[in-house]
């Protein structure tokens, strides 16, 4: 009898523990809507929000904290969350959206892959100082984007991050960046000048390929690797001095 009772108690405890874990997993996957900013988001394990999608038009300010209610069926209980700090913009979150200007006021750490891909009327973006990573294709094919300042703290600029930004004339790269990945600024037809800080050690393949208006490039002494065709098809490039520190160059 005692053994049976002990087994029953153990079974109940295991079942309760499983239910708690399952509940946490379900909660983490719950999607919420912030109607004011037309943003859909989830809550991560660190109690911060990750933006999954946005249906806003025109100018948008992403606040430091967002609030909303859960998306579910009519039978699901309503869950309201308030003032959740935003830490991440997910992959494809703003893809092909109709935003024109974006100001990010939150303590954002990362912009995911293709987050703003194909935003054809986006003209400007203000990035926060807390940003550390710009993902692959983050602003790819934003033809009206004219200028952007990458904040101190960003260590790498992902592959195709600003590729096909046809109107981009100026880019400010901080001395925290060490690596510019392949095709990061390829086909930026209006880009005229590039000044790379002393922190940059490598330039990926085709990083500045086919920048038709590019006339001047300053390469720092810290640079050790220049990838394949990094500056190919840049007919306006008047001259470039490769520093002695470069030990690896592409074909």
What's the pTM value of the predicted model, to 2 decimals?
0.82
Architecture of the domain defined by 89-249: Alpha-Beta Horseshoe (3.80)
**Percentage of residues in the chain having pLDDT higher than 70:** 86
* 242 band by pLDDT with thresholds 50, 70 and 90: confident
Q: pLDDT for 49-72, tens place per residue?
A: 999 999 999 999 999 999 999 987
Mean pLDDT over the full length of the chain? 85
How high is the pLDDT of residue 238? 82
Q: Residue 155 above 60 pLDDT? A: yes
**Percentage of residues in the chain having pLDDT higher than 90:** 65
DSSP the chain: -HHHHHHHHHHHHHHHHHHHHHHHHHHHH--EEETTTTEEEEE-TTS-EEEEEE--EEEEEE-SEEEEEE---TTSPP-EEEEEEEEEE-TTTTTT-EEEEEEE-S---EE-TTTTTT-TT--EEE--TT--EE-TTTTTT-TT--EEEPPTT--EE-TTTTTT-TT--EEE--TT--EE-TTTTTT-TT--EEE--TT--EE-TTTTTT-TT--EEE--TT--EE-TTTTTT-TT--B-PPPTT--EE--
How high is the pLDDT of residue 2? 45
* 8 band by pLDDT with thresholds 50, 70 and 90: very low
Q: Residue 11 above 70 pLDDT? A: no
Q: Residue 18 above 60 pLDDT? A: no
* 38 band by pLDDT with thresholds 50, 70 and 90: very high
How high is the pLDDT of residue 143? 96
Q: Residue 15 above 70 pLDDT? A: no
- The structural domains of the chain, with segments of one domain joined by +, span 89-249
Of 120 and 250, more confident: 120
Q: Residue 19 above 80 pLDDT? A: no
What's the mean pLDDT in 124-137?
93
How high is the pLDDT of residue 75? 64
How high is the pLDDT of residue 32? 95
């Amino acid at each position: 009898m005692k053994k049976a009772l002990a087994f029953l108690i153990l079974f109940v405890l295991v079942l309760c523990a499983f239910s708690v874990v399952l509940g946490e997993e379900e909660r983490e996957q719950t999607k919420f809507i912030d109607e004011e900013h037309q943003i859909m988001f989830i809550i991560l394990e660190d109690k911060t929000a990750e933006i999954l999608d946005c249906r806003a038009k025109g100018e948008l300010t992403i606040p430091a904290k967002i609030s909303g209610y859960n998306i579910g069926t009519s039978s699901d209980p309503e869950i309201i969350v308030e003032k959740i700090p935003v830490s991440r913009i997910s992959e494809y979150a703003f893809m092909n959206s109709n935003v024109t200007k974006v100001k990010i006021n939150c303590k954002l750490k990362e912009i995911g892959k293709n987050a703003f891909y194909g935003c054809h009327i986006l003209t400007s973006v203000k990035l926060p100082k807390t940003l550390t990573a710009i993902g692959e294709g983050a602003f790819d094919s934003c033809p009206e984007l004219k200028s952007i300042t990458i904040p101190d703290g960003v260590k790498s600029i992902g592959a195709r991050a600003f590729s096909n930004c046809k109107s981009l004339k100026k880019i400010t790269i901080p001395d925290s960046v060490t690596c510019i990945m392949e095709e990061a600024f390829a086909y930026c037809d209006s880009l005229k000048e590039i000044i790379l800080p002393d922190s940059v050690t490598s330039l990926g393949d085709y990083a500045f390929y086919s920048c038709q208006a590019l006339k001047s490039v300053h390469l720092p002494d810290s640079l050790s690797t220049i990838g394949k065709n990094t500056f190919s098809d840049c007919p306006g490039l008047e001259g470039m001095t490769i520093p002695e520190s470069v030990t690896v160059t592409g074909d």
